[in-house]
Amino acid sequence: MNIPPRLTPILDVRVEVGEPTDIGEVAGGRRRIVPITGGSFAGRGDLAIAGVVVPGGADWQVIQPDGLTEADARYTLRTDRGRLITVRNRGLRHAPADVMTKLLAGERVDPSLVYFKTTPIFETAAPELQLLTRAIFVGVGERHPTEVVLRFWMVD
């Protein structure tokens, strides 16, 4: 059987971010660390959860000379019931050179001009949230000047 996977909407996350720290040129590109300062999230479909993004995470980025950004974000979600979920969200972001220049300078750009896809991995001890630890997920992101909006789907 060759049945293509289905995508089920599962989670929307709004991550507030601070000013990036530019480390400079390292092996593989320019390193930037973008602090995660807060935010909120809400489940979709059968995942009936909501809560906040815990301040203290960061996105450790490597930016290639052509603007291709390799993202590796790690942060924690706390549900309204006090349950904790860690997220490791790796992804790629790229756009035409003029769009990437504006995006990396913190300017607003049209999200439809930017390829921003991710593969999150969730970890939690909460028995009722084990669905998050037992499936593959994909995400689509939008970078705005002070936040990143992420929408995640479960691969069925």
pLDDT tens, position by position, 96-137: 989 988 888 888 999 999 999 999 999 999 999 999 999 999
Are 117 and 111 spatial neighbours (Cβ–Cβ below 8 Å)? no
User: Three-state DSSP class for 57?
Assistant: strand
pLDDT greater than 80 at residue 38: yes
- Per-residue pLDDT of 52-77, as tens digits, reads 999 999 999 999 998 899 999 999 99
What pLDDT, on a 0 to 100 scale, did the predictor assign at position 30?
96
Are 142 and 108 spatial neighbours (Cβ–Cβ below 8 Å)? no
For the question of whether the overall pTM of this predicted structure is more than 0.85, the answer is yes
What pLDDT, on a 0 to 100 scale, did the predictor assign at position 46?
85
**Options 3.40.50.1820, 2.40.160.20, 3.40.228.10, 3.40.640.10; which CATH number does 7-155 get?**
2.40.160.20
Radius of gyration in angstroms for the set of CA atoms belonging to the chain, rounded to a whole number: 16
* Greatest Cα-to-Cα distance within the chain, rounded to the nearest angstrom: 49
What gap in Å lies between CA 138 and CA 90, rounded to an integer? 10
What pLDDT, on a 0 to 100 scale, did the predictor assign at position 104?
82
pLDDT greater than 80 at residue 1: no
What pLDDT, on a 0 to 100 scale, did the predictor assign at position 2?
86
Token duo for residue 20: 């990036």
Q: How far is CA 14 from CA 39, 43, 65, 66, 99, in A?
A: 5, 12, 28, 27, 22
Question: In the chain, what are the domain boundaries?
Answer: 7-155
Amino acid identity, position 77: L
Q: How far is CA 63 from CA 17, 66, 124, in A?
A: 17, 8, 30
